[in-house]
Amino acid sequence: MPIDPATERFVHPITVEAADIDELGHVNNVVYLRWIQEIATAHWQAAATTEQQAAVAWVVVRHEIDYKHPGLLGDAILGRTWVGTAVARAFERHTEIVRARDGRLLARARTLWCPISRTTGKVITVGDDVRERFSVPAPP
């Protein structure tokens, strides 16, 4: 049965460590940004074929992040991500970062990724196999 990218949520566990904490005693905003990239990369590595991974790399062209509640030292975190629409060479991805013990939303993000060739480092148009797996159709 084919996977429906519109409903699939990839979950990636994270533990807040001392290096993630800022002078205010909570997870620094830059750490959330790092986690968003790590979660997307983990999803790509888990869902893309070996051939796709060998041919395509991704670069961020835009991040939008809403910080909702602070993460604290020792918190177990779940990063959830799913794909959105793709227009030309901009692939949308959504991410939620939640505290595992109570499901509290800590941050939500929308990121636009652009595919590049691992060989040339230049922007590329991906095949239908990647487009179908890592995007959903735009609404009518």
Instruction: Return the CATH number at 35.
Output: 3.10.129.10
Residue 48 lies in a domain: yes
Cβ-contact 77, 32 below 8 angstroms: no
CA atoms of 17 and 90, how far apart (whole Å): 33
pLDDT in tens, 90-111: 999 999 999 999 999 999 999 9
Q: Is the pLDDT of residue 112 over 70?
A: yes
If residue 58 lies in a helix (H) or strand (E), which one and from where to where?
Answer: strand 56-67
Secondary structure tally for the chain: helices H, strands E: 3, 5
Residues in the chain: 140
Q: Is residue 100 part of a domain?
A: yes
The answer to the question of residue 20 being in a domain is yes
In a domain, residue 73? The reply is: yes
In a domain, 112, yes or no: yes
Is 53 within a domain? yes
Looking at residue 140, its pLDDT comes to 77
Tell me how many domains the chain contains: 1
Is the residue at 139 inside a domain?
no
Tokens of 83: 């794909």
5 within some domain: no
Q: What is the pLDDT of residue 107?
A: 98
pTM listed for this prediction: 0.92
The two structure tokens encoding residue 81: 């991500």
66-98 pLDDT, tens digit each: 999 999 999 999 999 999 999 989 999 999 999
Residue 7, pLDDT score: 67
* Residue whose structure tokens are 């159709």: 137
Domain of 20 in residue numbering reads as: 10-133
pLDDT in tens, 1-39: 345 565 689 999 999 999 999 999 999 999 999 999 999
